Structure 1
């Protein structure tokens, strides 16, 4: 049985997920890097981490919208090193669904990735943890909606509620907390466009984007012994955006 604690991070091939994997790995965690369509990038990330510390990172593929895949992912994560200590529910889809254009398919997709999958995966992982911690990646806009994102906002607000509900239900064995990012990284080409970057930045009191590392450090704290008495909490990491 491996001595290093083991964390599963979903949607971890790129961006905030990859930053979280790097931060936790540097802190001594063994990392299970989940990806779906970006498995190749997840494998490259794992290979690089394994060069620095052999047998400390592994990439696993799963479609989180497939309920059967969640049990399999949790079991594979535990089987990798014979233990599972933490879960970071980072995988997410995000796109606008203006009223008048919202389809049932888009609703199912957004709620499936941002709410159903984290809830069912936490259930699957909790059954395979002795003690541990879960961190859900939320969104400061879950409680201060932006126009045009009703389905996404509903899903993230639901995950916020789940964070508190599971903190109650899984205590004292497993702590459950959340991190609520603001504007961390500009959306990628092909994603939703922030048409006025300067106007968006002007809404952030700290007057800059956060970057994935800011979220990663918050996750590291919430998973660490330093946060042993913290559960059901949501830590905003948004440069003050929620105050605007």
Structure 2
């Protein structure tokens, strides 16, 4: 599999998973444009853009000068283990939808018209295996990720006959330092790794995946 001569936009590129997706994509030959709210100094380089992904106008400004976009990988998002649904504040609810849904929707709105104009492209979103059903104290997270998953399938139906593939991965718990701290008694060997997820996402923007449309693909490691 090769991403040689492909231009990819990766959101959430400064995070733990995002960094690994960038690394794997570049290793496979892609030119990567990295977007995130902020980048630490060691990651700041050409084609890194600090931008509020919830700001529609700011996103459009970043995408405007791009001539071609072969793939958009929406890694940006987040998780909160909230209280019960009846105790959840409006701010808590809105936060999950802002970082999981609005960020992806804004990037899609900026990228897909360019893909339509060139007659090709691929979009990969990140849903959640746990959001296939509701879970206690995770109502806002599960609801927001289920929206991302339905949004993926809806967009696929809109553009699959126009040369654009749209799919999503559904990870379980990802093996990150933060999750190890939060769950010190867990069996980390069963968790999916950022590298495993990155390889699947890069496959989904490659030519080899051009027959896959609207798929919600569980990538769970051994969990």
Taking structure 1 as the reference length, the TM-score comes to 0.81
Structure 2: gaps spanning 5 or more residues: none
Structure 1 position 158, deviation (Å): 0.4
**SS in structure 1 opposite 2:124?**
strand
Query: Closer, same or farther in 2 for the Cα pair 1:108/1:41, shift >3 Å?
Result: farther
Separation in structure 2 between the aligned mates of residue 187 and residue 107 of structure 1, nearest angstrom: 25
Moved over 6 A (4+): none
Q: Show the counterpart of 1:236.
A: 218
Match 1:185 to one of 160, 166, 175: 175
Structure 1 position 21, deviation (Å): 0.7
Confirm or deny that 1:104 pairs with 2:90.
yes
Q: Show the counterpart of 1:52.
A: none
CA offsets 1:10-43 (integer angstroms, 9 cap, x no match) = 0111311111111111111100111113353531
Structure 1 position 149, deviation (Å): 1.1
Query: Closer, same or farther in 2 for the Cα pair 1:120/1:159, shift >3 Å?
Result: same
Match 1:66 to one of 55, 58, 80: 55
Structure 1 position 67, deviation (Å): 2.1
Separation in structure 2 between the aligned mates of residue 193 and residue 144 of structure 1, nearest angstrom: 22
Separation in structure 1 between the aligned mates of residue 216 and residue 158 of structure 2, nearest angstrom: 17
Q: Show the counterpart of 1:216.
A: 198
CA offsets 1:40-59 (integer angstroms, 9 cap, x no match) = 3531xx4xxxxxxxxxx610
* Cα RMSD after superposing both structures: 2.1
Match 1:170 to one of 140, 159, 169: 159
- Residue pair 1:35, 1:42 contacting (<8 A) in 2 also: no
Structure 1 position 96, deviation (Å): 1.6
Confirm or deny that 1:25 pairs with 2:26.
yes
Confirm or deny that 1:83 pairs with 2:68.
yes
Separation in structure 2 between the aligned mates of residue 144 and residue 195 of structure 1, nearest angstrom: 25
Separation in structure 2 between the aligned mates of residue 42 and residue 234 of structure 1, nearest angstrom: 31
CA offsets 1:200-233 (integer angstroms, 9 cap, x no match) = x5xxxxx522211000000111111111111101
Q: Which region of structure 1 is more displaced relative to structure 2, 98-107 or 11-20?
A: 98-107
Structure 1 position 193, deviation (Å): 2.2
- Residue pair 2:54, 2:106 contacting (<8 A) in 1 also: no
Q: Show the counterpart of 1:150.
A: 139
Structure 1: gaps spanning 5 or more residues: 47-56, 202-206
How many residues get paired?
215
Structure 1 position 117, deviation (Å): 2.0
Separation in structure 1 between the aligned mates of residue 11 and residue 207 of structure 2, nearest angstrom: 22
**SS in structure 2 opposite 1:197?**
coil
Separation in structure 2 between the aligned mates of residue 106 and residue 42 of structure 1, nearest angstrom: 30
